[in-house]
Amino acid sequence: MQTVAAYIPYPHWLNSGDNTWQLVAATLVGLMSLPGLAVLYGGLVQRKWVVNTMLMAFAGFSMVLIVWVLWAYNMGFSSQTFGLFGAHGTGFFNNLVGKPWPITSHFGEQNQATSLAQTDVPFHFPNATLAYFQVVFAAITPLLFLGSILGRMKFKAWLLFVPLWITFVYAVNAKLLWGGGFFAMKGAVDYSGGYVIHLAAGVTGFVLAWMVGPRLKRDRDHGVPHNLMLVAVGAGILWLGWNGFHGGDPFYAGVDAASAVLNTNLATAAGLLTWMFWDMVGTRQRKPTFLGAINGMICGLVGITPSAGWVDGYGAILVGLICSTIVWVAWNYLSRVRPFSKVDDALGVVYTHGIAGLVGGLLVGFLADPGMVEYIGVGKTPSVVVNGLFYTGSWHQEWEQFLAAVWIICFTAAMTVILATITKLVCRGLREKDAVLEIGDVAIHDEEVYPQETFAERVSAMTSLVDRE
C-alpha cells in the first residue's frame, strides 16, 4: 500500500532549529523580568514595599504584552514604512516610526517573519516568534526603570505611564535603531539594546524619579534591602537569562549566537570582579560586598549588550572592565554632584543601566572586531560585520554611535517629561499620599510579603460559614 504524506508540520521557510532557539531565547529573556527583576527588586527594597514592587513588575509586563501585539510591534518592526507628516524617502520622519497595526490576525502570527531591518537574510521562523522575542525586550525596559521610582509612585499612574512610554518612546527608539529606521540606515548599531533598552531605561528612570519626587525621608535613611538571598536569585536569573538576550539576537542558532553568549558571560565576569576589586581597594571599608559585586555584574551585562556578537573575547573582557570601572566611579563620586545628588533614583538605574549602556554603546565604535562575522556573505557579497576604530582606524562607527546616543538621551528625557505630565493630569498626581507611604504594601494592596497567621483573623467567609451551622 502506498502512503502519501497528507500533512507537513511546517512551511518550507521554517527551520526547526532556529525557531526552537528563538523561542527558548525569548523565554529566557522573559524569565529575566519574571521572576528575575521582580525578586531582585523585591529583595532590594524594604519589607514594607515588596508586594508593591512585585505587582508593579508583573502588571507592567502584562501591560506591555497587550500594547505590543495591538499596535506597538508594528510601530517598531513593521515592514511597511509610515510617512509621518507625509514624509517619504530616506529622510528622518519617514524612518522614525512604523505604522501602528495589530499583529493578532492568523496571518499576523503565522506568516514568515519579515522586517525592514532584515531584508537580506530571511527569517526562518514565523512572525509570532519574532514578535514574542521582541516583546520580552520591550517588557523588560519599564521593569528596569521601575527600579528608580520604587516606594512612592501611584500604582494607577504606573499602569498608565507604561503603555504610553512603550508607544511613544520604546517603539520609536526600536524603529530607529533596530527596525531599519533613520539611525540604522546611517549605520548606528545596537546589538541587543544598550541604547534602546538600557540607556533609555536609565534616562527615563532618572527623569521620572525627579518628577515623582523622592521617597519618604525615613525610607531613604532606612532603605536597607529586605532579603539578600532573593537578590542572589534574581541576579542569577538575570545573568543567565542574558544568554537568551544576546544569543537570540542574531535570529539564527548559528556561530554568532554562540560567540555572543560566550562574550556576554566574559564581560559579566570581568564586570563583577572589577567592581569587587575597586570595592576592596577604593572604599573606606576596603571590603568586597555582595551588592557591589551584583552592581558590577549588571554593568558587565549591560555594557556588553550593544556589542555582544561584534567584539571578540578580548574585547568582551575589556568592555566588562571599562564599564564596571566607569560606573563604579560614577556611583561613588558623580552621585555627589547635582543633579544626581538631588534625584532619588531608588536603585541607581541611571548608573548601572544608563551610564553602563551609554559606555557600552560607545565602546562598539572602538572595539568591534571586523573578523567577527554576524552573517556570512555569499560570493561577492561581503559578510555582515561592524568595524571598530581599533581595527580599521576609522572614526565612522564611533561617530554614528555618538549621534544615536545623543538622540536617545534627549528624546527619551523630553518624552518622559511629556508623558509623565499627561499621566499626572489623568491620575491626579504621580505619587501616593505620605500617610500611605508610611505603611506601604498593606495600605496600597491589603497584602504584606510575610503575613503572619498569628495576627490575622479571617472575617467574612469563615464567620458566615460558622453562623449557618
Q: Which residues bind another protein (CB under 8 A)?
A: 218, 221, 438, 442, 446-448, 451, 455-462
Buried (b) or exposed (e) across 375-393, using 16+ Cβ within 10 A? beeeeeeeebbbbbbebee
SS3 at position 148: coil
What cell was used for 221?
535613611
* Residue 454 burial (10 A CB sphere; 0-12, 13-18, 19+): exposed
- Closest distance to another protein from the beta carbon of 146 (Å): 24
The sign of the torsion formed by the CA atoms of 118, 119, 120, 124 equals positive
- CA distance to 45, 54, 449, per residue, from 151 (Å): 8, 11, 14
Distance CA 218, CA 225 (A): 14
Q: Which residues contact 314 (CB under 8 A, 6 or more apart)?
A: none
CB of 226 to another protein, least distance (A): 14
Q: How far is the CB of 451 from another protein (least distance, A)?
A: 6
Nearer to another protein, 46 or 259 (CB): 46
CA distance 446 to 198: 33
As measured in angstroms, the least distance from the Cβ of 432 to another protein is 16
Distance, in Å, from the CA atom of 136 to the CA atom of 31, rounded to the nearest integer, reads: 9
Least distance between another protein and beta carbon 78 (Å): 42
To another protein, the closest distance from the beta carbon of 145 in angstroms equals 28
Phi-psi region of 193 (alpha: psi -120 to 50; beta: other; left: phi over 0): left
What count of other Cβ atoms lies within 10 Å of the Cβ of residue 322? 23
Reading the block at residue 461, the C-alpha cell is 467567609
- Shortest distance, position 58 Cβ to another protein, whole Å: 16
Q: How far is the CB of 155 from another protein (least distance, A)?
A: 15
Distance of CA 457 to the CA centre of its chain: 42
Choose between 219 and 400: whose C-beta lies nearer to another protein: 219
Closest contact distance (angstroms) between CB of 148 and another protein is 24
- In the numeric block, the cell 521593569 is attached to 143
Extract the C-alpha cell encoding 386: 561592524
**Cβ proximity to another protein, 398 vs 448, nearer residue:** 448
Cell of 69: 501585539
Please report how close the Cβ of residue 34 comes to another protein at its closest, in angstroms.
Answer: 20
Closer CB to another protein, 457 or 467, in the complex: 457
Q: Which three cell numbers stand for residue 412?
A: 527619551
Residue 373: Cβ within 10 Å count: 18
Extract the C-alpha cell encoding 263.
562574550
**Between 122 and 451, whose beta carbon lies closer to another protein?**
451
Do residues 295 and 239 lie in contact, with contact meaning Cβ atoms separated by under 8 Å? no
The least CB distance from residue 436 to another protein, in Å, is: 12
Beta bridge partners of 112: 126
Supply φ then ψ for residue 397, to 5 degrees: -60, -40
Cell of 204: 527615563
